[in-house]
Amino acid sequence: EEFDFLENAILKFMIENKALFDMRVKDGRVRECHGDCHSGNIFILSDKIYIFDAIEFNKAFSCSDVAAEVAFLAMDLEFNDRADLKEAFTNKYVKESEDGGLLGLLAFYMCYRAYVRAKVSSFRLAEANLTDEEKSSAEKLTTDYFKLALLYAREL
């Protein structure tokens, strides 16, 4: 039932916002990005920010709307209880990029990224040699990401 809600909310949003997606392509907002921009791939050293481990092996995986890229980090920050940093990051990005249209897509792409994280973490459950603790941790992570995807879907 929850999966059906999620799927229907996403499809409805995509249909109702086709013109917005088309405009983003026309405006050059779809381009090659990092592709895997989350807090696990970022560190700060001597007041410099380093973002590493970009998806370079397949351009199809790293080419997207910049809103999806921003949403991945925003979702990750919120997932890790840093809604304050999520807000600061998205607001600063919108201001610097002059991409106010991004805000209309943020919940959609955060929903997508949370769902993908749930799916990826669920793959761990198929591993044969998991301890009970590892299995429990993977189940919790999968559930938490899926709940977050549902939360974002309700905002669509």
Provide the pLDDT for residue 52.
59
pTM for the structure as a whole: 0.85
Buried (b) or exposed (e) across 16-30, using 16+ Cβ within 10 A?
A: ebeeebeebeeeebb
Taking the C-alpha atoms of residue 38 and residue 78, their distance in angstroms, rounded to an integer, is: 11
- Those residues of the chain that have pLDDT short of 70 are 33-37, 40, 51-58, 60-62
**Range 2-154: architecture per CATH:** Alpha-Beta Complex (3.90)
